[in-house]
Amino acid sequence: MFSEVGKMSRWLEIELAVTDALAQAGVVPADAAAQCRKNAPVIDEAFVARVEAREAITNHDVAAFVDVLQESIGAPAGSWIHYGLTSTDVVDTGLCWALRDASDITINAIDELVTVLRDIVNTHRNTPMIGRTHGIHAEPTTFGAKVALWGLQVLRDKERVLRARDAVAVCKLSGAVGTYSNIEPAVEEAVAKHLGLQAVPATQVIARDRHAEYLYACASLGTTMESIAVELRHLQRTEVNEVREGFAKGQKGSSAMPHKRNPISAETISGLSRVLRGNAQVGLQDVPLWHERDISHSSAERVVLPDSSSLAVYVTRRMTKLLSNLEVDTANMQRNLDSLHGVVFSQSVLLALVESGMTRDDAYRVVQSAAAKAIDTNTALRDVLLADKTVTLSAEQIASAFDVTRVLRHAGRAVDSFLAAK
């Protein structure tokens, strides 16, 4: 899509579409426009090489392209190519066309990821695990709820990409400084319709806040992929071991240590997301240009726009593959959930004591002390509470406080929200 062949193929169609529209407007002879279409060259590596050779003389890529294109079509019809246009008309419209199509590929990649996430959510809707805050055991949650929240964030990124697609899918053919001095607005409208783009007012360049929005959408998607990746990296740590990246037959985790099985996909995604965020900063810096145009944005965009487009798709597809092959260790999730002897139900006990008439601060101190004793003595918190004379709860009330089903009775709300979302 961003190769020289791809770029010049779009330039060619824009030039021909303008000539066709000018013929419809009575500016270009109809037979000349037809001849341009008929004699239009195939854009291949040989054509690109001719343009590059010409650019060595002109020191201007679009001027070189127009020279070679006119030569290929032949006179007199070829002389109508690029009539009334400035180079940025062709370059900006072609770039926006490419970014629109790149957005479609990104959206397809997101949809594939969402399908995998929904499969995991359906499988693990009720799989209990420990929730962690600050990296410390907090209260029970479900793996399904965790993944559903990832999915909802991915869907928000899809909306961002769709909005960025709309923002960048525009066309500008209004000439130098954007005043339509040598081309009619109707020609711009006709070409925009032909290309499936939206004609917009502009200076000599299309405003770069559109491209910045596109780069932000790519960066936001990459950051979401990193959010998932970081969580998976934590959950794969030896001490946690609740999930594991798939490991293919013959794969090696380390050149030195045969036992190693590392979260390489998640770490790769984390690294590449940093590039996407850096590129988004470049996009913002490209917005303020001098007067009606300069080219300070152009050199940077030739790097960051193709790279971010490719990386946004890559990290999304890499995450899809990772999750498609993810091993979920439900038994270890349960072991970790039980590892602190039930202290993760401390809030439920606290509230039960408050309901029984104890002040909140007194109840907090009682449960805090009991939880510390349970951990220090490797004793179930439930047993510590039952032996504590200051705890006035019945055995049934204590049992209810430790009922994981009760604690997780609403955890499916995130799952339902994700499964119902479009």
Active site residues: 134, 254
Pairwise CA distance, residues 317 & 199, whole Å: 33
End-to-end CA distance of the chain: 28
Residue showing tokens 């998976």: 232
**Are the C-beta atoms of residues 132 and 240 closer than 8 Å to each other?**
no
Residue showing tokens 């559109």: 210
CB atoms within 10 A of CB 73: 24
Q: How many residues does the chain have?
A: 422
Pairwise CA distance, residues 411 & 150, whole Å: 14
The continuous run of DSSP H or E covering 55 comes out as helix 45-58
CA distances for 266 relative to 215, 224, 253, 321, 323, angstroms: 22, 12, 14, 11, 10
Pairwise CA distance, residues 192 & 204, whole Å: 17
Closest-CA residue to 242 (of 339, 370, 131, 336):
336
Chain centre to alpha carbon of residue 48: 32
CB atoms within 10 A of CB 128: 21
> Which burial class, exposed, middle or buried, applies to 134 when counting CB atoms under 10 A from its CB (0-12, 13-18, 19+)?
exposed
According to DSSP, the β-strands at 136-142 and 128-133 are: antiparallel
CB atoms within 10 A of CB 9: 16
Q: Which two tokens stand for residue 415?
A: 């799952």
Provide the residue type at 161 as one letter: V
Which ranges of 251-345 does DSSP label H, i.e. alpha helix?
A: 264-285, 296-324, 330-338
Pairwise CA distance, residues 302 & 2, whole Å: 9
Provide the residue type at 331 as one letter: A
Closest-CA residue to 280 (of 308, 315, 322):
308
The answer for residues whose C-beta is within 8 angstroms of residue 150's C-beta and 6 or more apart is: 117, 224, 227, 228, 231
